[in-house]
Amino acid sequence: MSPAPTTAVICLGGATAPANDDGGTLSISVKSKSDLATAVSGTSSNLSSITIRVSATELSGLYDPMALASLVSSLAPGGAVQVEILGGNNGGSGVDLMPVNDSFVLAGLGAESERRDGTSRILTARKKKATDLEPASNKSAPIKLNLGGGGSSAVKINLNDGDDDDDMVDEDDLLAEEGAGGVLAPPPAVDAAARAAAADDCGGRKACDNCSCGRAELEAMERAAGGGAAAAADENQPKQVPSSSCGNCSKGDAFRCAGCPYLGKPAFKPGEEHLVLDLADDL
C-alpha cells in the first residue's frame, strides 16, 4: 500500500507536472475552469502544499479565484499554496496577477512571497496555523487572585473620582425635604408681570421721548380711553393713528418691532393705517 501523498500539483490546461516526482506528490490534470474547485476533494486534509501550474496565456480562462477556498480545506495548518504562471514575456511581468492575489484573500491565506524563476512567476501564500487564529487576549498569562480570608483586613475602595457634582440635583433629596411628605414640591410661583416686563423691549418703563415703535401713541390712546366722561365725549372722534418712525409697520409682522401697535394686523399700504385699525371679526 502506497503512502498517502503529502503534496499535490494541479496542472491547468496544457501545463505539465515537474519531472522530479518523488512519489509523495499527487499530480492532477484539470482541463476546465469548473473542475478546479474539486481537484483534491478525494485526498486527505493533511497536504503540506498545493501547487497550481498554469500557463500565462491560459490564466484568465482556466484559473478560478473562487475555487482556491475549496482547495484550502485539504491543506494542513501552516501549509503553503503556490501558483506557478509559466511562460510570458520578461519572466511573466506582463501577466495580470490580480486574480491570483484575490484568490489568496478569498481563501483566507496570508501572502508570503512572489518571485521569478526563468520565464515563470511563482506566488506563494500560506495557511494560518491554529495558534495564529486565536485572539491576543487568549495568549496572555492568566491572572491569579488571592481570595483567602487569612485574617486580612477588609479593603475599602473609594469610587468617588473627585468630580465636583455640586451643580447636580439629587432626586432623593427632593423627596426627603422636611414637610414634603414623600411628594415632590410644587414648582415655584411665576410672576406674570415680571415675565411680561422682561419680554417688553422697553423693559416695562414708559415710552422714550424719541419713541419710534409706536409705544408712545399706544400709551396716549390708553390714557385717553381711561378719561371717563372725556373719553366718552370723544367716542365719535376719529381714532388717533400711531405714526411709524421706522417705516416698517406697513410691511407686516416679519418687519415690525416687538412693541408695534400693528402686530397681528395684515400688511397695508402707507396712509391706510386707520383702515387696518378698524378691522374687526364678523363673527
**Phi-psi category of residue 182: left, alpha or beta, with phi > 0 → left and psi -120 to 50 → alpha:** left
Q: What are the residues whose beta carbons fall under 8 Å from the beta carbon of 200, sequence distance 6 or more?
A: 258, 259
Rg, Å, the chain Cα set: 47
Check residues 129 and 4 and name the one with the higher pLDDT.
Answer: 129
What is the C-alpha to C-alpha distance for residues 133 and 78, in angstroms, rounded to an integer?
11
* C-alpha distances out from residue 61 to 4, 7, 14, 146, 279, Å: 31, 25, 12, 65, 88
- What residue type is 128 in one-letter code? K
Yes or no: say if 275 and 237 are a contact pair by the CB < 8 Å rule. Answer: no
Strands across the sheet with 120-126, in order?
25-30, 7-12, 47-55, 75-86, 120-126, 110-117
The tens digit of pLDDT for each residue in 167-205 reads 677 777 666 555 555 566 667 777 777 776 666 666 566
The tens digit of pLDDT for each residue in 219-256 reads 888 888 776 545 455 555 656 667 777 888 888 888 88
Yes or no: say if 106 and 68 are a contact pair by the CB < 8 Å rule. Answer: yes
Longest dimension (CA), the chain: 133
Yes or no: say if 71 and 50 are a contact pair by the CB < 8 Å rule. Answer: yes
**What average pLDDT does this structure show over 138-149?**
59
State pTM to two decimals.
0.45
Yes or no: say if 100 and 64 are a contact pair by the CB < 8 Å rule. Answer: no
The tens digit of pLDDT for each residue in 38-94 reads 888 877 668 888 889 988 888 888 898 888 888 888 888 888 999 998 886 655 567
Residue 9: strand pairing partners: 27, 51
